[in-house]
Amino acid sequence: MTDCCVIVPTIRQPECVRAYVENARANGFDTDRLHVLLVTEEFCDIAGMEAMLDELGVDGEVFDGPRRDAWFEARGLAEYADLIPAASHAETSFGLLYLWAGDFEYGFLVDDDTLPHDDHDFFGRHLRNLAFEGEVEAVDSDERWVNVLYQNADELGLYPRGYPYGAMDETVETDRVVVDDVVASQGLWTNVPDLDAVRILMDGDLEGQAQTRTSAADYGEDFVAARGSYLTVCSMNLAFRREVIPAFYQLPMDDNEWAVGRFDDIWSGVFLKRACDVLGKRIYNGAPLCEHNKAPRSTFSDLNNEVAGLELNEHLWEIVDDVEPPGRREGRAARPRDGAGADDYAAVFAAMGERLAAGDFSDYENGAFLNHVGETMLEWLDCLSALDAAEPVATEVTAD
């Protein structure tokens, strides 16, 4: 049974897929369960990627821009094609739609500049995390933000990309909680830490990486963020249950009139965490680790892509923090209703989208981008509904 869709956005290093498939086989994971979706652009070697999947003996497809357009057209959804920005990491959202339209139970997001650790059963560990039932460490802080690098923060002094500057210098608190409702598993990373450009510059690196590096020794026990607190969710090493897709749209970054970029997975993580808190679900963090081998590039180029959204990132979580869908009392203890599923995620996401779409954010630099985000969130839900109603497409339509 092919129940796992592995989504890899790539224009540079599709060969990373070989390492993940080899890791699966080395750990006895049934690769017949895997369907690899490579989301790329038409200037890349599409035929080479397809040949690699054939050589590896795994199910999968490759989608560049024209093929994505054809996919939407075949389902009568051409009006929604602009939800997926071209040549942007946020095109991973196409993978979410593809998964939603298919018969998959689990999704994996893998960046092409990562490799699995040999001593981690990558796919098996993620799935065990999603099935986890038991006691685990819960992390909180007086700033209501959890630094996923908190375990060695005194030595590393690092905060990950997307962590608000106003929430730094927090007092960390930990507790033990019983967890039985995990819907997303975030694996962390060694080698190049996932930092924003300002923090990379502060670390003394002009090549977009970091002078400070992380190792497996910097991570301890797996953990969850406490209810009501937020955390950065990076999509380079992430597994999730199908049910979260309505609340997990990777936001329309890069190709917009405000030039806001680099926050697609971070903001989707904020929305997912709020939905999890409302519905009584959990995001599990820690293993399996991956090795992040970010290629050198100008730190100032990343800064240029991030600066337009830095102020918005300080406030986005505050704007959606008390959002509840209609019919759910403010402040109610966060537990799911019987049979809670996709409709509940959609309701929470719609409530957040409506607040952003209708809000007055003129006090913020590029505040109108938040209105745009809200509008696209609601369009995302419309697209999912239309996809549910669309006639099944038996044979995939592609464009050369």
- pLDDT tens digits, residue range 191-209? 999 999 999 999 999 999 9
- pLDDT, position 252: 87
Cβ atoms 241, 184 nearer than 8 A: yes
Tokens of 93: 């959202």
Cβ atoms 374, 359 nearer than 8 A: yes
Give the Cα separation of 256 and 372 in Å (integer): 9
Amino acid, res. 389:
A
β-strand 114-116 against 230-231: which pairing, if any? unpaired
Residue 128, helix vs strand vs coil: helix
- pLDDT, position 5: 98
pTM score, two decimals?
0.94
Is pLDDT at 342 greater than 70 in this prediction? Answer: no
Residue 229 banded pLDDT, cuts 50, 70, 90? very high
* CA of residue 114 relative to chain centroid, distance: 15
pLDDT > 90 in the chain, percent = 88
Which pLDDT tens digit goes with each residue over 278-333?
999 999 999 999 999 999 999 999 999 899 999 999 999 999 999 988 765 443 33
Is pLDDT at 228 greater than 90 in this prediction? Answer: yes
Phi-psi region of 370 (alpha: psi -120 to 50; beta: other; left: phi over 0): alpha
Residue 36, helix vs strand vs coil: strand
- pLDDT, position 328: 56
β-strand 4-9 against 34-39: which pairing, if any? parallel
Is pLDDT at 337 greater than 60 in this prediction? Answer: no
Cβ atoms 195, 236 nearer than 8 A: no
Give the Cα separation of 244 and 374 in Å (integer): 18
- pLDDT, position 345: 96
Which pLDDT tens digit goes with each residue over 78-116?
999 999 988 888 999 999 999 999 999 999 999 999 999
- pLDDT, position 55: 98
Is pLDDT at 189 greater than 90 in this prediction? Answer: yes
Q: Which of 357, 391, 399 is nearest to 63 (CA)?
A: 399
Give the Cα separation of 299 and 309 in Å (integer): 16
Cα-based distances in Å from 118 to 127, 195, 308, 315, 396 = 17, 24, 39, 39, 35
Tell me which long-range contacts 197-200 makes (C-beta under 8 A, separation of at least 24). Answer: 197/299, 197/300, 197/302, 197/303, 197/305, 197/306, 197/307, 198/303, 198/306, 198/310, 199/158, 199/159, 199/161, 200/299, 200/302
